[in-house]
Structure 1
Amino acid sequence: MTRNVATDYRPDGATGTDGGFPFPDGIADPGRLATLSSYGILNTAQEEAFDAIVRLATELCAAPVGMITLVAADRQWFKARVGVEHTETPLDHAICTHALPETGLLVIPDLTEDPRTRTNLSVTGPAAMRFYAAAPLRDASGHGLGTLCVIDRTPRQSGLSGSQAKVLRALGDQVMALMQARREVMESRWALGTQEEAAARLQASEAFLKSILSASPDCIKVLNLDGRLTFMNEPGQRVMEIDDFLTIAGTAWHRFWTGPYAAQAQAAVSKASTGGVGRFEGWADTLKGVPRYWEVVVSPIKGLDGRPERLLAVSRDQTDAYRAGRRQDALTSLGERLRELDEPDEVAAEVAQAAAWALRLTRAAYGTVDATESAITFDRDYARPGQASVVGRHRYADYGSYVDDLRLGRTVAIADVRTDLRTASNLEALGRYGIGALVNVPAMAAGRLVGVLCLHDREPRAWTDEDLSFAKAAAERARLALERIAAEEQQRLRTHEVSHRFKNLLTVVQAIATQTMRSATDLSAATEVLAGRLAALGQSQDMLLDGRMGGSPILDMATRALDLHAEAGSRFDVSGPDVRIGAKVALPFSLMLHELATNAVKYGALSNDTGRVSLSWRVEGKGDAVMLRLIWRESGGPPVSPPSRKGFGSRLIERGLPGRVGGVAEVYYAPTGLVFSVEAPLAAFQVED
């Protein structure tokens, strides 16, 4: 039984004071003191068997202080100790007196809140103690002689874990077994009797200690002073995936560590070999190659002469906690960094790097999906040294049959591309990029697949729920950041467009007026023609800016867009097959043509009386690879050259329609005139909503 409630103790019949609180009954009981004296252990030298138990108790309970205390009439004396220098204290400093009446563990989560201990000098003085747990050392006669206790300088409201309480209780029993065996050896020597029975008890005690080690979930090892393995507990062998310890007995322990951790393991062994305690954390693979993250303490096991004879190495598996902390740190810092970015490719690069770091991946990349939801483009990626980059455009059909899941907003996790039916037929393409396992997390907008976070590992990998939760959170942060950037860009476009449209409109009005007056026979006719043309211009401008252009054949749409420049209508050569443009693309298509025509009036082929403009389009390819290529070509105008800087109009031409259809735009300032082209999947041009 374990007691850890501060108010469940009533000091009836106390015989002394403890900082103002009475001692428990029986401290000065003659029978108890006589029993303690019969062990002949007070004021004896340190013994490794007892020291080892205290070290093990503090390690397994994660406590900085531990002791074997024996309570005499006027003091408590320490047979073994860790974390304290003195060998005894007066009773008014003692906490262990309160554990003597107990039949099970005594656990006090916070010594400052327990009325028995809150005024104790060990609690209020320098290096104050806050947490206390003790297994009472009870003789067969029922007398409490002392404790095996662990102490922390910070409170622990949850006390000990179940396994820690079990181990502390068992180690307390081991202390009493050693004391009894020690007393029997002494009595046998005094009586000149045989020592076989005492030796057997000591052997049984050692066997019992091994059973305690088998109950610990930690990987506990004994090394010789050269750092070679001589013992490993059974739980340690299981977590290290060792089928037979004899296959690794005598192996240098540091060889289980890789990279910088091997040197840290050697340093910890060297420190413990000279009497110190070595500590470090790092990665080491199990015997079957599974990486695990360990928290390690290496301490000396001293002989009777006080010198280290062997080493105790305790490794605690912290893989899950380490990975959880790494994922949380990555998400926190990712959110902070994304708020500072204003370019989509920077967002993609940041998300990829965070995912690769947090999940220890071979590669990570965030890509945008085209309007057909059949291809993905990566502008940036993050790959480990020596791994191929996936930057560029990729068809999903080349890498497996899982794109339909992504279109439905489902995350795709494939542990082994060789055995998964969705990818087993595409190993050649996957092998070019060294992909053994993958995760694809879709980003959806208005029910449509717009982006995917792709995670790759070179070897097969069992993706955990925590891995997938992190990937989804990272993908969502990327989606929100890209939406923010798009919204900010849209706002900037609107602001610039108001100014730009007004300037362009004045230019068009000026061109119409100039051309009208140039060809008019008299002022009255010119006035009538000019008024009609300006009215038509106003109607076209309203349709353009209000977005009331629905889906229609490309020829009709081009004609309507160029009607704003009706005076130059005879100088346009428009040709191409009968292709329908969807309503979703109509506005950016019209705005692009209007911008190209306005620039031609200002600076290009339409700025004189002889220049011409050719607008043509053609359809190329078959099946899913059908592409539409649109070409604007000017000739007969003044010489053209690239602008020294790109303004709003240039960005609208190069990014507006190409960005909407996921296409590639090219601008060429030829000696004969400007040539502009855009190419994208035909299906992207025909999206209706």
Structure 2
Amino acid sequence: MNVPDIVFDPRRLAVLRSYQVLDTLPESGFDDIVQLAAHICATPVALVSLVDGDRQWFKARTGFDGSETDLTRSVCAHSLASPDLLVIPDLALDPRTNANPLVAGEPRIRFYAGAPLVTDDGVALGSLCVIDQVPRPGGLTGQQQTMLRLLARQVMSQLELRRALVERDAILLDKQSAEALEKVTASLYTSLFDAIDAGFCIIEMKFEDGAAVDYRFDEVNPAFAMQTGLHDARGKWMRDLHPGHEQHWFDLYGKVARTGESIRFENPARELGDRWYEVHAFPIITSGGSRKVGILFNDISDRKEIELARRETERVQELVNGELSHRMKNMFAMVQAIATQTLRSVPDKVPVEAFTSRIHALSKAHDVLLHQDWTAAPIGDILKAVLGSLERIDRFELAGDKVILGARATLTVALLLHELTTNAIKYGSLSNDTGSVAVSWRLAGAGDGVELVLNWRESGGPAIGPPTRRGFGSRLIQTGLVGSGGVDLDYDAAGLRAEFRAPLVQVQLS
């Protein structure tokens, strides 16, 4: 794929690197924007993509694996020369992108819309883009286009604010640059503070006997009142506005003023309406040498409420699962006890032991389901639980895709594995100390015809043949993964070879 010449423009690359954002950690301000873009445009993927000289790097992403790609995979590189939105309804039909490995191969993206990220000087750094895996002949709606442009401008505001704060922190390290710091701060007031949604203020601390007891608001931005509910706060002391404001706020800001070290934290403010805040507090040294504290913050109360609700739900679910597990184990123990008492007069103990062993296998399967809220279970977890309860797990070689089984299929597969393992212990490769079993599973087919295929391969055991009589265990094996057959058994001299197949939809819904 041809890469546009603008990508390699030295001035463009120098401006991009001046933001000092490449290879930095994720930040919620950018992460929130891509989530919003994907939601508004109804796409599975949204990216904040910055195009460097040899790669495109994602400051924020949703629905896309990996933090960067090489330029041959970059559609965003083409947006750099676009004065407005770049919309490609079908990437497979556009000569600029049809050879792109992400289009021609996995994940086979087909639709792209990108709003260029352009500085005030007209330099394009990358794009805020949305991507889909199906073509969109109609592109985006007018409203979606407008919102994508607005969100791209918000990305640039975040980048400008970030660069300004990085520059400010660098200046703070040099005591001889105090005058330059004031100029940067003044520039921030006029160019950024009025535009950002985050609350910002500069405070002056008040100490008594070395303890922080109050602070005064020297500067506040327009978003400050919306974020805090404090109106006309400039020039006022916090204790006058809210006498009951928690002491931990004063202690934290006082520490920043005393030590000159920045801090990031999340804290509740009960006096401000039970709100939670995400805060970045940093020192500001004035020309007179006094220390003030700059505070950039966001109200994260909604996020905290969701987190608390999730934790409570998880706590309740854990209690319910624990009680269910306890009751299920008691029930299985009672069934085994009743069976033992009822069948103790039976002279042949082999079927009695087989019955109780099957009950134990079902118990293990129920344990796995309880850990998954009783809805479904990964096949790998089922294998480890059932096989490990009968024989050392290191005698099995397990390999396969991540496949989730429905609750009913979980129990059926558990019984199937139990029968195969007990047979291997009695007659097959696990009847000695050197044999082993390879168990693998995979998905085969496409579309509605996808099947789960489970293979059982024994080796290192004695030569075996088909069973001479057809008991319950043999009949159970013949029922397969979901009780509908799909079984191929080969009693090879080297060991049993078995393949079980079932439609994936039955395995997951059963």
- By the TM > 0.5 criterion, same fold? no
Bigger RCO (CA 8 Å, 6+ sep): 2
Instruction: Please give the TM-score of this superposition, normalised by the length of structure 2.
Output: 0.37
Instruction: Please give the TM-score of this superposition, normalised by the length of structure 1.
Output: 0.28
Q: Based on CA coordinates, which of the two structures has the bigger radius of gyration?
A: 1
